[in-house]
Amino acid sequence: MELEALLKEAAAIVREAGELVRGLNHPQVYSKEGHANFVTEADLASQKFLLERLGPLLPGAHFFAEEQAQNRLEPGFNWIIDPIDGTTNFMRGYRPCAISVGLVKDGEGVMGLVLDVWSGELFTAVKGGGAFLDGQPIHAAEVPMENAVVVFGTSPYYRERADATFAAIKDVFLHCGDVRRSGSAALDLCFVAAGRCDGFFESILSPWDFCAASVLLREAGAQLNDLRYDQPGPVVAGSPAVFGELMALTGNYF
């Protein structure tokens, strides 16, 4: 199946997963390893649905998913899935949360879909085809650093990184227009792609947090640091107007 046709099929499935998640807005909650790290029955139901429905679209593709016991990037196609990015937000009724579905071929991101669960906005991209929000093209902004809005994550499961993270936040804040934190890295990165904000950074993220959005960012004309889809790592992204300075500032800490 061609990527554009595959995207259309996958988009319908992701939207259905969003309906499923919205119907479970008071889910049972379970704890995972790590500080304040949770999974809900909605995460598990969303992941089960996505694996079952995406599997037949691309026979032979592997799955690399947050709530899966073991993950390994395999040769060929790999679906990289976060069934709910922003689980803590979802649990508390704090709106920013997303379903993130990326497709990687031999280590390269080739497709990304990110659904804002509550607004219903769907961000999509395939390699070489541009980036879109509900079918309309999106592009990174051209705001200079001194006026830029920069979003960030605090890597809450890695408390040992707190000093470096908050030092970086202060340094970036002193060089830009203002900073924001939403609790959903996938949405933050899509908002950079859509020009709603200008840059993003976090000291460590897992592949399911950034895979789909990385394709959107590149197709929207934004820039990213070197990423690997098989392991966690730092993520810095931004429009061409801010990316270089943001990399320099955060590079002092990460």
Domain boundaries, the chain: 3-137, 145-250
Which tokens belong to 105? 């071929």
Residues of the chain with pLDDT under 70: 27, 30-38, 69
Partners of 81 in the β-ladder: 65, 101
Of residues 169, 166, 193, 194, the one with CA closest to residue 179: 169
Output the six-digit token pair for 28: 């049972």
CATH match of 145-250 with 3.20.110.20: no
- pLDDT tens track for 153-192: 999 989 999 999 999 999 999 999 999 999 999 999 999 9
Q: Largest alpha-carbon pair distance within the chain?
A: 50
Looking up tokens 């270089």, which residue turns up? 244
pLDDT given at position 128: 97
Considering the four listed CATH numbers 3.30.540.10, 3.40.50.10800, 2.40.50.140, 3.40.50.2000, the one that applies to the domain covering 3-137 is 3.30.540.10
Backbone φ and ψ of 210, nearest 5°: -120, -10
Could you give the residue ranges of the DSSP H alpha helices within the chain? 3-22, 41-54, 87-92, 162-175, 185-193, 207-219, 243-250
Half-sphere exposure (CA, 13 Å, Cβ side) for 102? 30
What is the reported pLDDT for 29?
75
Using CA atoms, how far apart are residues 213 and 9, in angstroms rounded to an integer?
A: 18
Show Cβ contacts of residue 236 under 8 Å, excluding neighbours closer than 6 positions.
199, 200, 201, 224, 225, 243, 246, 247, 250, 254
- Please give the pLDDT value at position 66: 81
d(Cα 153, Cα 194) in Å, to the nearest integer?
Answer: 18
- Sign of the Cα torsion 202, 28, 66, 13 reads negative
Which residues, in sequence order, are bridge partners of residue 102?
80, 112
Residue 193 per-residue DSSP state:
H
pLDDT at 69: 66
What is the spatial distance between Cα 28 and Cα 78, in angstroms, rounded to a whole number? 29
Topology agreement, domain 3-137 and domain 145-250: no
Token duo for residue 38: 């949770």
Alpha-carbon dihedral 56, 59, 60, 61, rounded to 10 degrees = -60
